[in-house]
Amino acid sequence: GNSVTQMEGPVTLSEEAFLTINCTYTATGYPSLFWYVQYPGEGLQLLLKATKADDKGSNKGFEATYRKETTSFHLEKGSVQVSDSAVYFCALSTPYNQGGKLIFGQGTELSVKP
Amino acid sequence: DTGVSQDPRHKITKRGQNVTFRCDPISEHNRLYWYRQTLGQGPEFLTYFQNEAQLEKSRLLSDRFSAERPKGSFSTLEIQRTEQGDSAMYLCASSLGQGETQYFGPGTRLLVL
């Protein structure tokens, strides 16, 4: 079946630290991969995506590369800010014959201290 | 473009009561998805529509749950005879079609007492 596993949180970092949030997946076929972010009191927002192997998604200084050989899509940022404090969700989109619904990981809470 | 909207944002009800939530997708988005998110977990798929047709329902969607999307625009999710285990955030998302990015609404937080 399809599943997503993320590193457990919470993750606490100092401002300007390097961030990695690990995400691995199990899927039939070739899913698209996503990172969504949920800021306190707000809805889910798409952060970045990659639709095929070796694609790199990037946005707001965050990056993730679709690694088919390791079935991973780790999120990275070189220098985090206090405003990056949020919950981050890795997700995959099921293939065409499975409706394209999103399968999410459990989320990783990031707290950035000044 | 006003984004996906959901109403109400919060709902408190007593066990056994019926509740109905509404989702207005981004205009011209023909796919509409419902998800449920419990505390500390990622969203879980409930059901989705292609225009007005409901194409899939998760096993999470018991027979107390029903969803509609008349005329392929807004959608409603009704929960009958609510139970405490139904307490969760109910999220709606829409997309232009299969494989396109899903955009989420702010969610409806349900608390069943």
Per-residue pLDDT tens over the stretch B81-101: 999 999 999 999 999 987 788
Q: What is the pLDDT of residue B53?
A: 93
- Mean pLDDT throughout A85-92? 96
Q: What is the pLDDT of residue B2?
A: 75
B99 in A contact zone (CB under 8 Å):
yes
Higher pLDDT pick, A97 / B103: B103
Nearest-by-CA chain A residue for B104: A44
CA dihedral over A81, A21, B90, A57, signed as positive or negative: positive
Q: What is the pLDDT of residue B49?
A: 95
The pLDDT-based confidence of A97 (bands split at 50, 70, 90) is low
Amino acid identity of residue B66, one-letter, is S
CA dihedral over A21, A96, B92, A106, signed as positive or negative: negative
- Cβ A44–B91 below 8 Å, yes or no? yes
Predicted confidence (pLDDT) at residue A6 exceeds the cutoff of 90:
yes
Of B42, B91, B99, the CB nearest to A100: B99
- Mean pLDDT throughout A18-36? 93
Q: What is the pLDDT of residue B97?
A: 84
SS3 content of chain A, % helix, strand, coil (to 5): 5, 50, 45
Residue A35 · residue A73 · CB < 8 Å = yes
- Mean pLDDT throughout B39-44? 92
Q: What is the pLDDT of residue A17?
A: 97
A42 in B contact zone (CB under 8 Å):
yes
Enumerate the residues of chain A whose CB falls inside 8 A of the CB of residue B95: 100
Q: What is the pLDDT of residue A1?
A: 82
* Three-state secondary-structure class, residue B86: helix
Predicted confidence (pLDDT) at residue A96 exceeds the cutoff of 70:
no
Cα three-residue angle B29-A1-B34, rounded to 5 degrees:
30
CA dihedral over A58, A63, A67, A73, signed as positive or negative: negative
Enumerate the residues of chain A whose CB falls inside 8 A of the CB of residue B45: 101-103
Q: What is the pLDDT of residue A8?
A: 87
A29 in B contact zone (CB under 8 Å):
no
The pLDDT-based confidence of B24 (bands split at 50, 70, 90) is very high
- Cβ A96–B48 below 8 Å, yes or no? no
Q: What is the DSSP letter of B28?
A: T
- Cβ A36–B104 below 8 Å, yes or no? yes
In total, chain A counts a number of residues equal to: 114
Q: What is the pLDDT of residue B1?
A: 55
Predicted confidence (pLDDT) at residue A29 exceeds the cutoff of 90:
no
